[in-house]
A and B are shown apart, each in its own frame.
Chain A
Amino acid sequence: MKSFKLMTIPYIIWSIIMIILPMVMILFYAFITKGNSVRQFIFTFDNFLKFFSDPVFFDVLKRSVYIALITTLFCIILGYPVAYIIARAKPKTSAILVLLVTLPTWINMLVRTYAWRSILQENGIAVALLTLMGIKNVKLIETEFAVILGMVYNFIPFMILQIYNSLSKLDENYLTAAADLGANRVQTFLRITLPLSVPGIVSGITLVFLPAVSSFFIPKLLGGGQFVMIGNVIENQFLTAGNWSFGSAISLIMAILIIISMYITRRLDAKITGDGGDDK
């Protein structure tokens, strides 16, 4: 037993370097400001005060959460039926369908988002199709619609796979039993299938909401540089403004926000499935 414990040491060291250390540095940077030559840095809460005292940053945060929520909602609405169909299909078909869902993710996300840019832009294929259908003068690129579309497109495979996972574990006998006891298909779905797939939805929400709320290149490419989300502010603080402390403070605020939202979704999960919120 002891020898196995030794084997975890490389992993622990790796985690410390790659996960813990960067977080500690963010925490450190968030609470300091550049000092003078004697004291290199000064402990301060200014970075946080600055964020909350300037309505501009708070508006950006609200917009980010709003866009991420809409994205997550669409991923559930569009992803659930797909996951359901895959889970109900014959094993061979469902293997192919899973492959098809994951296929786009083999290509770099940035390249795929660039492709959407040329599809949606003024002389792109989407506008041309709409014009053929008689809908003229629509503006698709550099709108909120384009950003949400890009996000749903990029993140929906994560949602589908999570829901599919929990649906495929569903014991067929429950459904037979429900039918046996006189439940119709809608009742079976609402009272058996849906509650049992909640853990999948919850982990899907985590996998979609988190990258969506902090995304920075999708809004930049599809919304234009003036479509600013919180990820763009963080990028700006680190790369061009050179204010690592403020950037770290915003990152920390985001992290807290994400922890809170994860807590809420887990509580919801626990309430619905009634198994203590453990979604494995």
Chain B
Amino acid sequence: MLFWIVAALLTLAASLAVMLPLAGRTRADNPRDHDIEVYRDQLKELERDAARGLIGPAEAEEAKAEIGRRILRLAGPENADSARAGAKLPRMVAVAAVLAVPVIAWGVYAVTGSPALPGQPLSARLAEDPADSSLEELIARAEGHLVSNPEDGRGWDVLAPIYLRGGRFADSVSAYRNAIRLLGETPDRLAGLGEAQASAAGGLVTAEARASFERAMAADPANPKARFYLATALAQEGRLKEAGEAWRTMLSALPADNPWREAVQQAIAEADRRIAAADAPPAAGPSQSEIEAAQKMSPQDRAAMIEQMVAGLDQKLRENPRDPEGWMRLVRSYAMLGRTDAARDALARGLEALDGDSEDGRRLLALAASLGLPATE
């Protein structure tokens, strides 16, 4: 409120600075009087210079004559400028000028200003009880501390999961890294780092995140977060059965009151649902008889048969591209056959068909990443 009063007073003062001279009376002066004054001064100075010998007597006379001629020229006819009195234009300009000040000022300030934000001097903020502060303020306070003491591992360790919760994933990754650098690796920090990395990638367990989880698992095979995410990685690659298996094993080992149970159960249900949905896929995998046949063949023939099957799948997908599972199988198949270019091409086509931002698209991308195919988009 005080701000608005001050702003109003300032506007008033500024408007008065425009208004008062416009309302007052000013007599017009004659510019010639100014000129004559200057010439008179020049003459006096010339005399002083001549007295000091700065100018020769003959030249001084000449200069005096020059100045005299200028004075005479001034006495010539006036070019009746001041007689022009278009009274209308000045009045309009005056009104517009008085109006312009508040209109422009309030208009511009409405766009650029933040009138609702109070000033926040640091000393006043530090004097507040931290218990009254919001989470943002607590984070800001910790950040301030870490700017001055970047080697304080405890601070990073506290801040990292808070960032993660708050959705600041990139900050969380660097905070976890700092904590690990300064305080050493623990299964929890590694799993947290992996979670931050996966969250930063939009929920995908990237190769980088998986490496973090695997390190956490190596140190603590029972770490629930690492186990859960590693199984998620399997599911994201389309290896749903293996993922379901991993989750089930994990569930059986979890105590009854563990908070992870619910998430794991949901994940298992989701995996089962997708397996069921994939049972009758438009582009079916090799049938039992085909697999048996393949096992009896010579290696060359088997390779030829696989090539043929992959080509058939490729053909089917060209005709019916809306088949996420099919694309996954095709990309994996090409990658297994060592045909990286074809795999990359399939990936690109699949992403186009599935829309790279959709859930299926992201799963396909994750699969590609896990196969060592960089997304070329």
The answer to whether A and B assemble together is no
Which B residues have a C-beta under 8 Å from some C-beta of A?
none
